């Protein structure tokens, strides 16, 4: 499940208010970034047209609407996501096992019916904007963030066995050293996320709000590639290789 091209590990979150802004970002990142996340802001503003616009430009879409509903409704939403041809979409793990299973089943059935690839169904565990204090005080969850993530992963594991062995780990809240955390409480650098085993990292504002989004994306990709090469035991010139790999 690891993307073949290391560049595809970076997913840029297009949290913007208009389709025109999203299209302009995709165009500015052409050749460097091929995976884009559409979340509730852009989807509420532009709907499926945003998905189509990215796909028309050759990009793959991660639809991050974090479905959290009764199983029948979540299954219906999953069916529509599969029809749109997104490569991955999210549900909330806290929606429960029946909801996650209904979404996964509907996705598999729709993909089979259409004869296309089956989108990955990702379960969001604990939002990276939440820390332990918020979990306990506001959501009534007494365990630590890690404990609660592991608890939710246990629910996901039961469903995963039914649908195939691969886990795909996607890390949001990724911040290059020195970048603003914004509303994120728990962040990691691109290198740390790659080192910890994330298959994909999601980066929004550090790229989309940069004066030059392509330069910002390039620096993040370089850091991920450097870490991956270093992890494979490449020699000290891994950084040069990482640079060369992005050309």
The residues of the shown chain that bind ligand C5P, judged by CB under 6 A, are 13, 15, 37, 39, 64, 124, 127-128, 172-173, 182, 184, 202-205
Least distance to ligand C5P, CB of residue 99, Å: 17
168's tokens: 């795909």
Select which of 7, 56, 66, 112 is catalytic: 66
Least distance to ligand C5P, CB of residue 14, Å: 8
Judge contact between 7 and 33, C-beta under 8 A: yes
**Cα 87 to Cα 109: distance, rounded to the nearest angstrom:** 15
Residue whose C-beta lies closest to ligand C5P? 204
Closer of 116 and 154 to ligand C5P (Cβ): 154
Closer of 90 and 110 to ligand C5P (Cβ): 90
Q: Phi/psi of residue 120, each to 5°? A: -75, 135
Residue 66: active-site member: yes
Contacts (Cβ under 8 Å, ≥6 apart) of 211:
none
Least distance to ligand C5P, CB of residue 184, Å: 5
**At 230, which helix (H) or strand (E)?**
helix 213-231
Least distance to ligand C5P, CB of residue 201, Å: 9
Closer of 108 and 216 to ligand C5P (Cβ): 216
35's tokens: 């995976």
The DSSP letter of residue 174 is B
Closer of 35 and 230 to ligand C5P (Cβ): 35
Exposed / middle / buried, residue 220 (Cβ in 10 Å: 0-12, 13-18, 19+): buried
Residues assigned a catalytic role: 66
């Amino acid at each position: 499940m690891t993307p073949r091209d290391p560049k595809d590990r970076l997913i840029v979150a297009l949290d913007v208010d208009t389709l025109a802004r999203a299209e302009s970002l995709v165009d500015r990142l052409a050749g460097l970034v091929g995976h884009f996340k559409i979340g509730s802001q852009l989807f509420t503003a532009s709907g499926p047209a945003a998905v189509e616009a990215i796909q028309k430009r050759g990009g793959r879409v991660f639809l991050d609407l974090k479905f959290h509903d009764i199983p029948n409704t979540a299954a219906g939403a999953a069916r529509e996501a599969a029809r749109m041809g997104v490569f991955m979409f999210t549900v909330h793990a806290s929606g429960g096992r029946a909801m996650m299973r209904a979404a996964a089943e509907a996705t598999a059935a729709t993909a089979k019916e259409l004869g296309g690839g089956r989108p990955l169904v990702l379960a969001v565990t604990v939002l990276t904007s939440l820390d332990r204090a918020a979990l306990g005080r506001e959501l009534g969850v007494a365990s630590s963030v890690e404990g609660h993530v592991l608890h939710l992963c246990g629910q996901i594991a039961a469903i995963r066995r039914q649908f195939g062995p691969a886990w795909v780990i996607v890390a949001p809240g990724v911040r290059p050293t020195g970048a603003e955390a914004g509303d994120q409480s728990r962040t990691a650098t691109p290198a740390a996320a790659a080192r910890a085993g994330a298959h994909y990292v999601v980066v929004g504002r550090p790229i989309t709000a940069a004066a030059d989004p392509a330069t910002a994306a390039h620096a993040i990709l370089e850091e991920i590639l450097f870490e991956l090469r270093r992890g494979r035991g490449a020699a000290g010139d891994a950084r040069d290789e990482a640079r060369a790999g992005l050309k």
